[in-house]
Amino acid sequence: MTFAFEIPLLVLLILTAASAMLVKDLVSSVFILGSYSFFLALVWAWLGAVDVAFVEAVVGAGLATVLFLLTLFGTNPKDTRLRRPPTPWAAIVGLPLLGLLLMYGANGLPEFGDPASPASTHVSPVYLANSLKDTLTPNVVTSVLMDYRSFDTLIETAVIFTAGVACALLLRRDQG
Amino acid sequence: MTSFFLFVLLMLAALILVYLYRVAQGPTVFDRVLGLNGISTKSILMLIVIGVVYDRVDMFVDIATGYALLNLAGALAIAKYLEQRGAV
């Protein structure tokens, strides 16, 4: 049941990614990247990672499109036409081989949702057993993000704040 | 019932292909914008149908609302861009 819908989604992903690289001007490329993010978010939602899907939709489809367009605001129109060098033969031969290698390696991965996979048996049971006692937070994800990994989250927030300040400074126009 | 909703999802994916052709091929920027808006609408519908398949409609409706709001913000940014640059 899961499999029947994954294939059309992945085909759409590949089609959007390829056409984002192949179109001739940057504005169309930005639009197609927006739809690529929508499909990626649908893939996350289909796999049950709803929070990741939401972040992908917010950052990929919403924020990135707006930021790219703001960048194109400040660009000369003649610079948004693309002149591509021809694709080297090494890429045409090598990348499909790399894809085959990855598909061969994917055979060794555990099944989707397998309770006996290493990811589900290694540390997750410890968190599930102790998080309420350690942190008094009923939501396990929140307790992992905000308590066990609070320094990680704090510094991530600092990185995002710095990036936001840098974007605001770069995109500020017509003042001073 | 699940196979019916799966069929709906596949049909929506096929519809998106039509829009995608317009976005990638479209002679003018306006074709691409309209195609992108259509794709976003279909994605929102797909999200809700996925919610029905997983029996968690309440949560997926929230996310679909978020998508729709983002889609509005993106469309406004695109419109602003086209207004500043003139019809490309």
Q: Domain residues of chain B, as ranges? A: 2-85
User: Top-level CATH class of B2-85?
Assistant: mainly alpha
Is the confidence at residue A113, as pLDDT, over 80? no
Asked if A61 has any chain B CB less than 8 Å from its own CB, the reply is: yes
Minimum CA–CA partner of B4 in chain A: A1
Domain boundaries, chain A: 1-83, 126-176
Q: What is the pLDDT of residues B9-50, one digit of tens each?
A: 888 888 888 888 888 777 887 888 888 888 888 888 888 888
Q: d(Cα A17, Cα A133) in Å, to the nearest integer?
A: 46
> What ipTM was predicted for this assembly?
0.78
Asked if B65 has any chain A CB less than 8 Å from its own CB, the reply is: no
Q: d(Cα A48, Cα B47) in Å, to the nearest integer?
A: 11
In this structure, is the dihedral angle defined by the CA atoms of residues B1, B3, B4 and B6, taken in order, positive or negative? positive
Per-residue pLDDT, A138 = 84
Of residues A60 and A77, more confidence is placed in A60
Q: What size, in residues, is chain A?
A: 176
Which chain B residues touch A35 with a CB distance below 8 Å? 20, 23, 36, 39-40
